């Protein structure tokens, strides 16, 4: 089976812009979770989707949003980018409440 794929792998944006990141889970996996990793805060949970429904959400402002499509692919969107949004964004898929399989991440730089 192909692993979790994320696109794009690298992205440079400027403050105030918005960005959309994409995640394709392992075939058959219905749960997709998103995480932010920064040197200062480490890994933090953003949100989880299961069968197109947001199942859980972390403590991030409303500028961070996501969605999941019927084929389980997921997107996350960050609006009005701030310098502090520069991070590695990781998604992970799992069949349900189970081991998570991580994608390679999207490295976002906000200038």
Q: Which of 23, 16, 24 is nearest to 78 (CA)?
A: 16
Task: For residues 67 and 53, give the distance between their C-alpha atoms in angstroms, rounded to a whole number.
Answer: 8
**Interface contacts to another protein, rule CB under 8 A:** 33, 35, 37, 42-45, 48, 56, 58, 88, 90, 92, 97-102, 104-105, 107
Smaller CB separation from another protein, 22 or 37:
37
E strands, 64-105, are 64-68, 74-78, 87-94, 101-102
Q: Give 109's strand partners.
A: 12
CB of 45 to another protein, least distance (A): 4
Smaller CB separation from another protein, 72 or 106:
106
Smaller CB separation from another protein, 48 or 85:
48
């Amino acid at each position: 089976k192909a692993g979790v794929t994320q696109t794009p792998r690298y992205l440079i944006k400027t403050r105030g812009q918005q960005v959309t990141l994409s995640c394709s889970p392992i075939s058959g996996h219905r749960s997709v979770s998103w995480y932010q990793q920064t040197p200062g805060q480490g890994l933090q949970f953003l949100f989880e989707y299961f069968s197109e429904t947001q199942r859980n959400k972390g403590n991030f402002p409303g500028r961070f949003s996501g969605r999941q499509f019927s084929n389980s692919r997921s997107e996350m969107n960050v609006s009005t980018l701030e310098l502090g949004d520069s991070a590695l964004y990781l998604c992970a898929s799992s069949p349900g409440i189970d081991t998570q399989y991580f994608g390679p991440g999207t490295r976002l730089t906000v200038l």
